[in-house]
Amino acid sequence: MNQEFVEALKEIVKEKGISADLLFTTIEDALVTAYKKNYAKQGGSTNNVKVIMNRESGEIKVYAQKKVVELVEEEIEEISLEDAKEIDPNYELEDIINIEVTPKKFGRIAAQAAKQVVIQRIKEEERRIVYNEYIEKEEDILTGTVLRKDKGNILINVGKSEAVLGPNEQIPGEQFRFNEKIKLYVVEVKNTTKGPQVLISRTHPGLVKRLFELEVPEIYNGVVEIKSIAREAGSRTKIAVYSNDEAVDPMGACVGPKGVRVQNIVNELKNEKIDIIKWSKFPDELISNALSPAKVIDVTIVDEENKAARVVVDDSQLSLAIGKEGQNVRLAAKLTGWKIDIKSKSQAEKEEILNLSETKDEVILENKEDDKEEKIDLYEEMDSMVEDTKENIKEEISVSENNQEVDSELEKAMEEVFNTEDKLEKDINLFEDDDEKPSIDTEKAIEEIFKDEF
């Protein structure tokens, strides 16, 4: 070993980014192993051996560590106090001292061992550095440079390493040029025996999410949240967004001024269509929004536990709601997590399942039936009220001799009766059949009250 060897090691350290102390320590450990392997054959001591390499000159020395004792029993591992003090007067009993035992021809053996360990350690350190760098980018975006295509795979330079973009991770129909810069989603980083493996993708929904975070400051700052994403790479993506600030429109923030933000993402994804919808905590509203651009008439939660819903759309909107080859409803189902059964309005009416929540018209009809029964009860009560009023007024007339007072009571009675009748008549058109209306002739009733009094 010499100074040139040390300088070469330092260059390797600088180029590869490996720790110098770690590399020198590794070499020293390798030399201990080499010493034990070769020197033991000559009957030398191999216990408690230590190798020290000078960081500047490269000089190597082998030491056997021995314990200072009064009486030596194990010569290989012990040294007498008298002999120890000849080396250094400061040594005391129980001290551990290093006795140099460097073989004369150890330099050649050391050089060969050092070479092998340096190569191995460099490989290990490179793997460790790459792994530590990319594990931090897991589930994030990085930019890579296209190197070449090999049997459908695209080899990408991602900095200190190379990664393979497999056929299933490429956007359908996407073509790559040599040295082209592309954005990639790091799906996973594996530490294998062959080194770290960086799994990258351009089809993963996470790529869309990270692109929106880069383009939309409101998402990056947490004002707008991406609640869910459903993607069929190269064709269409649906993204549900929500704003934590009522003053910020989540959809508008994602689209950006003149659509610039979303257009940048579309360009990166090779013109993939992107539907941005407003997220809602209410399943029916979320499902309705998710089926955009189709207009939904009604959403009915059929089975909340199993997350099944039925959607009714106008006949003209059915094909749009389902989408080409079922894509729109398929993405909506992925986005919401609900099973969605779509029916046209005419089909729903035919199957008698359209009642606007199941439809609103049917609910109104049901309410009318309830109101009709209530109004009939009220009309029947009016007969009783008229009789009570008649008796009350008769009593008042019998105890009063003042005609003015009689007129006042009559006026109050008539007002009470007519007010009740007016209230009931306002609701009379709830009845579809005039034959069901109770018949009460109020004027005749009042006349009957007083016919015997005047």
Per-residue pLDDT tens digits for 271-294: 999 999 999 999 999 999 999 999
Phi, psi for residue 453 in degrees, rounded to 5: -95, -20
Are 126 and 140 in a shared domain? no
- If one counts every other C-beta atom within 10 angstroms of the C-beta of residue 319, the result is 13
Tell me if 198 is assigned to some domain.
Answer: yes
What's the DSSP call for residue 438? P
pLDDT at 386 over 70: no
Tell me, what's the pLDDT at 13?
81
Q: What is the spatial distance between Cα 346 and Cα 393, in angstroms, rounded to a whole number?
A: 60
- For residue range 343-377, list pLDDT tens digits in order: 999 999 888 776 544 444 444 444 445 555 655 56
Confidence of residue 24 (pLDDT cuts 50, 70, 90): confident
pLDDT at 71 over 60: yes
Q: How would you classify residue 222: left for phi > 0, otherwise alpha for psi between -120 and 50, otherwise beta?
A: left
- For residue range 170-214, list pLDDT tens digits in order: 999 899 999 999 999 999 999 888 888 899 999 999 999 999 999
Query: In this structure, what token pair is assigned to residue 116?
Result: 């092998």
Tell me if 400 is assigned to some domain.
Answer: yes
Q: How far is CA 1 from CA 4, 101, 428, 444, in A?
A: 8, 17, 112, 131
The CATH number for 77's domain is: 3.30.1480.10
- For residue range 100-110, list pLDDT tens digits in order: 888 777 777 77
Are 143 and 193 in a shared domain? yes
* Residue 277, SS3 per DSSP: strand
Q: Which helix (H) or strand (E) holds 88?
A: none
Q: Which helix (H) or strand (E) holds 153?
A: strand 153-157
Are 59 and 119 in a shared domain? yes
* Residue 224, SS3 per DSSP: strand
Tell me if 435 is assigned to some domain.
Answer: yes
Confidence of residue 452 (pLDDT cuts 50, 70, 90): low
Are 156 and 192 in a shared domain? yes
The total number of structural domains in the chain stands at 4
Last residue of a domain, one of 358, 383, 417: 358
Last residue of a domain, one of 358, 392, 427: 358
Are 300 and 388 in a shared domain? no
DSSP per residue, 304-361 = TTTTEEEEEE-GGGHHHHH-GGGHHHHHHHHHHT-EEEEEEHHHHHHTT--SBTTBHH
> Nearest CA to 312 among 340, 275, 279?
340
Tell me if 434 is assigned to some domain.
Answer: yes
The CATH number for 284's domain is: 3.30.300.20
> Nearest CA to 82 among 95, 66, 100, 70?
70
- For residue range 87-144, list pLDDT tens digits in order: 889 999 999 988 888 877 777 777 777 777 778 877 887 888 888 889 999 999 999 9
Enclosing domain of residue 346: 280-358
Are 36 and 144 in a shared domain? no
Are 343 and 424 in a shared domain? no
Are 124 and 175 in a shared domain? no
Tell me if 97 is assigned to some domain.
Answer: yes
Are 53 and 160 in a shared domain? no
Are 367 and 353 in a shared domain? no
Tell me if 353 is assigned to some domain.
Answer: yes
The winner for highest mean pLDDT among 38-47, 74-83, 95-104, 209-218 is 209-218
Tell me if 296 is assigned to some domain.
Answer: yes
Are 289 and 368 in a shared domain? no
Last residue of a domain, one of 77, 98, 130: 130
Tell me if 261 is assigned to some domain.
Answer: no
Q: What is the spatial distance between Cα 210 and Cα 204, in angstroms, rounded to a whole number?
A: 11
Are 370 and 354 in a shared domain? no
Average pLDDT over residues 321-339: 96
